[in-house]
């Protein structure tokens, strides 16, 4: 009744921002991402009749927000219900990167929890079922279940909204040079942010313009052409953050170091380096380049004022048992 799973964080090339069903976490639009090799969560779940309540241990965290423990416990309830048991669990979890700073910590966290928890209970679930369950825990977690480059279909029902692999991790030597400019937890969670999207005047036009960017991202992936993929993902990141900044309350995730990094990327590109940026719900910036350029990009990123850490990620497989 005990299992350990590893699940990668993922970087969204096309972002999930806004839900059409809050409780089920059904997104308003499809999204596309890449799993990250060096940013992952490792989680062990053990069920036992000796435990009187669910216990959650987060390695490195001084104290855990009771809301967060409740969210984990609720997710375990979904698994318990499927198995028809009421056993309580002990969850021990560890990240290789700062939690809640926009590196999709809840994505890797809920994907790892779903896989470890279901196996510990002896449930035998398909990748699609695991992706659906992970989605209900935390939307983007569904994209951390399949391998490599992943698409999450919108879907009108829970059964229709899951992620699947577009291409395996070995498909393209793309790198995500993750530039950490703030490792502190963000003040407003993405869960809260999603709820306020409709307040942005730009949200409707975002949805209207998405299908074109989705096609460009798919074409870039298909042709393994960064010259097509890169501009589309940058445009997409700027578009999502424009919506965030014009919501009520407004969300300003970028810091001056984020902005300096954006300017630097544009400058490096003018100098001939093929690198593009994208940013999720936080100040940290992801520099997308081909593997041959990753070291140079990382070295350059380290010189930017305010940069705390730089991590080179390759495409990674999805959540799996260890």
Cα 7 to chain centroid, rounded: 11
Is 291 in contact with 175 (CB distance < 8 Å)? yes
Question: By CB under 6 A, which span of 69-77, 93-101, 122-130, 135-143 interacts with ligand PMV?
Answer: 135-143
The verdict on 106 binding ligand PMV (CB under 6 A) reads yes
Q: Which helix (H) or strand (E) holds 276?
A: strand 275-278
- Give the one residue of 4, 31, 35, 43 binding ligand PMV; rule: CB under 6 A: 31
- Give the one residue of 4, 169, 190, 247 binding ligand PMV; rule: CB under 6 A: 190
Nearest to 134 by CA among 71, 90, 87, 185: 71
Cα 197 to chain centroid, rounded: 18
Kindly state the tokens that stand for 57. 């241990």
The verdict on 15 binding ligand PMV (CB under 6 A) reads yes
Kindly state the tokens that stand for 305. 């004022």
**Could you tell me which residues come within 8 angstroms of residue 24 by beta carbon, excluding any fewer than 6 positions away?**
135, 136, 158, 161
Residue 71 or 88: the one with the smaller Cβ distance to ligand PMV is 71
- Give the one residue of 3, 7, 39, 104 binding ligand PMV; rule: CB under 6 A: 104
Question: By CB under 6 A, which span of 54-62, 69-77, 187-195, 216-224 interacts with ligand PMV?
Answer: 187-195
The verdict on 151 binding ligand PMV (CB under 6 A) reads no
Please report how close the Cβ of residue 191 comes to ligand PMV at its closest, in angstroms.
5
Phi/psi of residue 44, each to 5°? -110, 130
Please report how close the Cβ of residue 253 comes to ligand PMV at its closest, in angstroms.
9
The residues binding ligand PMV (CB under 6 A) are 12, 15-17, 31, 104, 106-107, 138-140, 190-191, 194, 280-281
């Amino acid at each position: 009744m005990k299992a350990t799973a590893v699940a990668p964080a993922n970087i969204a090339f096309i972002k999930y921002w806004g839900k059409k069903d809050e409780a089920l976490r059904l997104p308003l639009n499809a999204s596309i991402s890449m799993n990250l090799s060096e940013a992952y969560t490792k989680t062990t779940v053990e069920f036992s009749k000796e435990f009187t309540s669910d216990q959650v241990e987060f390695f490195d965290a001084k104290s855990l927000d009771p809301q967060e423990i409740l969210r984990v416990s609720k997710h375990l309830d979904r698994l318990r219900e499927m198995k028809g048991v009421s056993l309580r669990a002990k969850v021990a979890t560890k990240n290789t990167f700062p939690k809640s700073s926009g590196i999709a910590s809840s994505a890797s966290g809920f994907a790892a929890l779903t896989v470890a928890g279901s196996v510990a209970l002896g449930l035998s679930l398909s990748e699609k079922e695991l992706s659906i369950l992970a989605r209900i825990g935390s939307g983007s977690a569904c994209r951390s279940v399949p391998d490599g480059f992943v698409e999450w279909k919108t879907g009108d029902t829970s059964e229709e909204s899951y992620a699947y692999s577009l291409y395996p991790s070995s498909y393209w030597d793309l790198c995500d040079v993750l530039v950490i400019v703030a490792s502190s937890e963000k003040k407003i969670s993405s869960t809260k942010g999603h709820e306020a999207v409709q307040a942005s005047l730009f949200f409707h036009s975002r949805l209207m313009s998405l299908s074109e960017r989705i096609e460009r991202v798919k074409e870039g992936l298909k042709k393994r052409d960064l010259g097509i993929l890169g501009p589309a993902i940058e445009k997409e990141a700027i578009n999502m953050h424009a919506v965030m900044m014009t919501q009520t309350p407004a969300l300003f995730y970028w810091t001056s170091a984020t902005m300096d990094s954006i300017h630097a990327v544009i400058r490096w590109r003018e100098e001939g380096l093929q690198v593009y940026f994208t940013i999720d719900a936080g100040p940290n910036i992801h520099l997308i380049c081909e593997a041959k350029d990753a070291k140079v990009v990382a070295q350059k990123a380290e010189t930017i004022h305010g940069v705390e850490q730089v991590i080179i990620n390759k495409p990674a497989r999805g959540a799996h048992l260890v």
